[in-house]
Chain A
Amino acid sequence: MLLEVRDLHVEFHTRDGVARAVNGVSYGVDAGETLAVLGESGSGKSVTAQAVMGILDVPPGRITGGEVVFQGRDLLKLKEDERRRVRGAEMAMIFQDALSSLNPVLSVGDQLGEMFTVHRGMSRKDARAKAIELMDRVRIPAARERVRQYPHQFSGGMRQRIMIAMALALEPALIIADEPTTALDVTVQAQVMELLAELQREYRMGLILITHDLGVVADVADRIAVMYAGRIVESAPVHDIYKAPAHPYTRGLLESIPRLDQKGQELYAIKGLPPNLMNIPPGCAFHPRCPLARDVCRTDEPPLYEVSSTRGSACHFWRECLDG
């Protein structure tokens, strides 16, 4: 395993109380593997990634338990300056909003080159050459001329390519992409997603793809982990999950998206609202919204049951769900 997150817990202390954003998340990624972390807003998918990356805002956030083992080391035990050497060089992150992630007053060449001057101690001239090479890599046309331009002079898709280039710069072993295509238009989204998948294959990196869009992950992910209220409720190879979900929440999500090959009928809607993280329901957090819920669901929190050797579901009645 390249990265293994074990029983991670994260809390946020706010004026109104303690929000338990991540409650015992475990997942792993191998080199060359793509793990999609799927969840709605507030499910803890981004917070988990921030904790892995070491960019969680502390305070108000606080990691209260768990391990993040990356290439054999527990990152949570490292000192901040050791952590900083890992970040960027060995694991990198791509954010949703490229425009606000790039510095508007530095040219893209300077920002790309910074990776090399800071981490590799290169001269500015060499770093500039590297930046051009990277822009070619992500196929930005006329890289030699555009390297002097500023982020606002690029289109949305091109900016996201620059973000990808920046993440790739030091050839990290792991890339975490947090909603990398959500802000882009469909036709551009398809380009960027494919570029990312191809580059990942070329460099044999581990990729964690965080998204709320079930469609985006279907093509590129190897495995999917579905999160709800700060826990993983289902984890499975991508084909299994789409064929027969083993958790009622996953099933609900799949059925509630209108698909291109159907129309007109009433959509299946998961009733109710996602839970308040300051007051997560006891037992299974999904039980107030679940069609299969019974008494045991209100009292006992389901563990991640083993559905098969590669598959887990945190539902007491996963068998029933699997059978439809």
Chain B
Amino acid sequence: MSDNLTLPAQQGSTGASTETLLKVEGLTKHFPIYGGFPIKRKVGAVQAVDNVDLTVGVGESVGLVGESGCGKSTTGRLITRLLEPTGGRIEYAGQDITHAKRRQLAPVRSEIQMIFQDPYSSLNPRQTVGTIIKSPMEVNGIDPAGGREKKVRELLELVGLNPEHYNRFPHEFSGGQRQRIGVARALALSPKLIVADEPVSALDVSIQAQVVNLLQKVQDELGIAFLFIAHDLAVVRHFSQRVAVMYLGKVVEVGDRDSIYNRPRHPYTHALLSAVPEVAMDDETENRERIRLYGDVPSPIMPPSGCRFRTRCWKAQDKCATDEPPLVQISGNRDGHLTACHFPEEPTTEARSEDVVLDPALKALEESAGKD
């Protein structure tokens, strides 16, 4: 588990560039719901992803955050074409792959890889580690110099595993090590884009840091672009250069890391940042704003009209119910920082004169506590 490994020759440039690798426009996925008897008919649809725009540059890491059910994983699966989009357009390296057929996709597939959340169910328990990492090369007919087995051993070393473990089975490894195997498999084809769907959320804290560091090393040194999907805002901030915040199938805010975390404009981004439990090493964090939303995310089967966040928003007005706010650059924001809100918040995360507490439960408790 050495941290000072030398890496093979770099591919492409290191760090972000302005060249676009992946471009997603108006991406939509509706899962139909069937019901009725005796003849099943389509009675509705789960609007998992609705009109999402997103770009990922060459070598750039983009974070996609949101709560469960916001469509972030579905977006990842649409981009890797594990799911068929209902609408919109996915462009990879200038090529439209939205509805590309198997054969057309084949060359692209090897360039877009995925790392899954659960290292226990994403590895075949009956295959050895060597077979697992080798199979993408076999499927794509790739013969690296020195043979596939040598490449697998190099990959194992790269991700910090012992190359001698080539013939072991996944159950002989811990969760963190399994996730390293998943990373090695994703790297086997020298991809240009990796979609990482909650790659560390199933791991323990001390192991999480090891895997985040590994991914960061891979990203920096091999110049691979990442779409990093996670619900943990701190991990995303650590890892991503740009961040998109999703709520109920929509991107509500997107921008540079610093812009999103220090100067958020969308009320939901404010609420999300405020809800993150923070380890208080000093007293600085006392000065954070405090927002407590009420209730849960509404159902994506019947999303609210207009702005989807309005049912939980403290700034909502009549306009929010009728007009859907476009994702635009609001005055005072940096270039590339787009927000979908009619009544954006102040660009600061500092404590406000009055906390926003929408939860009637908490409000009532606070009032009764105040009376004592």
Contact = CB atoms under 8 A, between A and B. Distances in A.
Interface stretch (A14-22, A25-33, A77-85, A193-201): A193-201
Interface string B232-259: 0111011000000000000000000100
Interface in A241-289: 242-243, 252-254, 256-264, 266-274
A156 B369 contact: no
Given A155-B295, A191-B361, A198-B365, A215 B278 contact: yes
Contacts of B331: none
B204 A41 contact: yes
A138 B279 contact: no
A273 B272 contact: no
Contact of B364 (A139, A260, A270): A139
Given A185-B297, A189-B275, 11 more contacts: A40-B205, A158-B296, A185-B68, A186-B276, A187-B271, A187-B293, A188-B67, A199-B365, A259-B278, A260-B278, A267-B238
A218 interface: yes
A216 interface: yes
B296 A269 contact: no
Contact of A188 (B276, B280, B281, B296): B296
25 contacts: A139-B359, A141-B360, A156-B296, A157-B296, A161-B361, A185-B296, A185-B297, A189-B275, A190-B292, A191-B361, A193-B277, A194-B292, A198-B362, A219-B277, A242-B279, A254-B279, A256-B205, A257-B205, A257-B279, A258-B234, A259-B234, A260-B278, A266-B213, A267-B212, A270-B206
Given A267-B209, A268-B209, A273-B174, A189 B237 contact: no
Sort A-B residue pairs by CB-CB distance and give the 9 closest, nearest first. Answer: A139-B361, A215-B277, A256-B209, A258-B238, A185-B67, A269-B209, A190-B275, A270-B206, A155-B296
Contacts of A256: 205-206, 208-209
B296 A259 contact: no
A202 B296 CA distance: 25
B277 to A, nearest CB: 3
Contacts of B164: none
Interface string B176-210: 11000000000000000000000000001111111
Interface centre among A161, A193, A212, A264 (most CB of B within 10 A): A264
A263 B238 contact: yes
Contacts of B294: 191
Interface centre among A266, A269, A270 (most CB of B within 10 A): A269
Contacts of B282: 243
Contact of B279 (A157, A259, A273): A259
B238 A271 contact: no
B209 A201 contact: no
A161 B205 CA distance: 27
Contacts of A188: 67, 296
Interface of B: 1, 3, 67-68, 174, 176-177, 204-210, 212-213, 216, 231, 233-235, 237-238, 257, 261, 271-282, 284-285, 292-297, 359-362, 364-366, 368-369
A214 interface: yes
Given A198-B369, A259-B234, A273-B207, A214 B272 contact: no
A254 to B, nearest CB: 6
Interface in A225-243: 242-243
A190 B271 CA distance: 10
A110 interface: no
Contacts of B261: 260, 263
A262 B360 CA distance: 34
A272 B206 CA distance: 9
A242 B286 CA distance: 14
A213 interface: yes
A156 B299 CA distance: 13
Contacts of B210: 269-271
Given A258-B237, A269-B213, A270-B206, A138 B361 contact: yes
Interface centre among A155, A215, A267 (most CB of B within 10 A): A267
B230 to A, nearest CB: 11
Contacts of A268: 209
A260 B237 contact: yes
Contact of A191 (B207, B213, B292, B297): B292
A315 B249 CA distance: 49
Given A40-B204, A202-B365, A270 B238 contact: no
B205 A212 contact: yes
A216 B277 contact: yes
A322 to B, nearest CB: 15
A129 B368 CA distance: 23
B278 A242 contact: no
A273 B172 CA distance: 13
A242 B216 contact: no
B360 A139 contact: yes
A214 B279 contact: yes
Contact of B204 (A157, A212, A216): A212
Contacts of B274: 190
Nearest to B236: A258
B62 to A, nearest CB: 14
Given A187-B271, A270-B206, A195 B365 contact: yes
B197 to A, nearest CB: 16
Contacts of A185: 67-68, 231, 296-297
Contacts of B368: 202
Contacts of A195: 359, 361-362, 365
A266 B317 CA distance: 44
A193 B359 CA distance: 12
Contact of B272 (A186, A216, A259): A186
Given A198-B369, A201-B369, A267 B213 contact: yes
A194 B231 CA distance: 20
Nearest to A289: B206
B192 to A, nearest CB: 22
Nearest to A189: B275
A299 B274 CA distance: 46
Interface centre among A41, A139, A186, A273 (most CB of B within 10 A): A186
A268 B205 CA distance: 11
A155 B235 CA distance: 26
A272 B272 CA distance: 33
Contact of B235 (A193, A198, A258): A258
